Structure 1
């Protein structure tokens, strides 16, 4: 039986609109200085739904479904297996190792089912969004060489991720989990090489599903590492510290300790501030 993408995405659109309506009616005016797990989940899943819809409208979803998990180019490349293994090892070290080590938890509980669900939804929707940018770039320049499409897609992904993560995700969705120091080191050690290397890998091998799988592995690690509170959690979770940004906006600049030298949360991850 053929998959009816239109019907599936109509359902996703309806679910996303329903979540948006619930959020507007119940949580839109929730005080910013109090972290609400259910409000954070609603905001996140509204965005996840938008990512799925963007990937569908751009043609990324259809292209992914038409591609096998192991790309056809793998059979003619002796480098495919070692490169795939190297990327897998990199993601495990970068996200389950470095990112996790430098992540504040403030005593939040490990809740594997909720954090696994959140991480997988996060980890599938984000790469679909990235692939949507790839297809959008290819549609903008249908006659462009691959390197030009890559540069445009990479630029769009980088700008979008920077603005979205800094101005919204780390302010309104993720619980406080960083400091200025950890952000300074996490970005060049994990996020930048991850997007760069995995996108190049995708372009070379047309490896849609491995690209998605690698990002899902990375972001599931992030969800577990930062102990994303379940929607029903009653734990007191520090809200993100809002730092001034341009045009009166705020951004997620990380936790600021009153006494950095003696702060137990900073000591737990070995961060100086």
Structure 2
């Protein structure tokens, strides 16, 4: 069994364990009702763990993990190419500016404390899992269209990532995994200023240079910044934390993340209806 297969098997075992613990402790009616108003850290970490393991398995199934394992960090030709060097430096600079700057400045913490070690661990796993999932769409395109040119693969992967991220984050992640950290205004601001340029620029870079590890590193730097600046509670945290505000979506009224509004703002909205 190769290292890649061992990682995939470990992810499968962990996913089953996380799922069993989650079902046994956090699927009761009482737990669901409580989570509408109060964030439960352990439940959120278990849900995230299930997703992380699933993303690793998708990476393995599409051949993404194998490609990453067999890919060098960079080639000597790239290292001697000033354009490649400028692109790498520029992308990391943009990610830090966008996520450790713009995203962080427009994120609400509600007094949650900095708990660096668990937040760093969560961000690192989040980044490597999401980075692999993004690349899995690219390699899915390779499987579907082995004769596709790079620009065709880029379009396919870009559309898949955009739709996947919009649905996952809005309808699930920002409700059931992340604590409340946005407002309606910040949601509208972050998407065009951070998320869209991130996926667009990093995927162009990958289409041109095929540096898998650097692509994942870029997403990891971004998501470590998100985890720290929204002050993701540790799984053992007993501090009272606000859950994300839920509003009906266009998808059969399923809840979506609406962003925090104060009581006064909510009253104003109700009066103007």
Aligned mates of 1:248, 1:133 — CA distance in 2:
28
Matching residue of 1:15: 14
Asked if 1:142 is matched to 2:140, the reply is: no
Distance 1:48 1:253, change over 3 A: same
Unaligned segments of structure 2, at least 5 residues: 266-273
Is residue 243–residue 252 contact of structure 1 (8 Å, CA) maintained in 2? yes
Matching residue within 250, 257, 260 for 2:255: 250
| 2:225 alignment partner in structure 1 | 221
Q: Secondary structure at the match of 1:237?
A: coil
Which residues of 2 match residues 36-75 of structure 1 at below 5 A?
A: 36-71=40-75, 74-75=78-79
Cα offset for 1:35? 1.1
User: 1:82-111 CA distances to partner (integer Å, 9 max, x unpaired)?
Assistant: 111110110110000110000000000000
| 1:170 equivalent among 129, 154, 174 | 174
* Gap change, CA 1:137 and 1:173, over 3 Å in 2: same
Residue 72 of structure 1 deviates from its aligned partner by 5.6
TM-score by length of 2: 0.92
Unaligned runs of at least 5 residues, structure 1? 261-273
What are the residue-to-residue correspondences of 1:86-125 with 2, within 5 Å? Answer: 86-125=90-129
Question: Could you state the TM-score of these two structures normalised by the residue count of structure 1?
Answer: 0.92
In structure 1, distance between residues paired with 2:120 and 2:197:
24
Shift of the alpha carbon at 1:76? 5.9
Is 1:71–1:207's contact at 8 Å kept on the other side of the alignment?
no
Give SS of 1:248's match.
Answer: coil
| CA RMSD across the alignment | 1.3
Q: Give the drift of 1:253.
A: 1.5
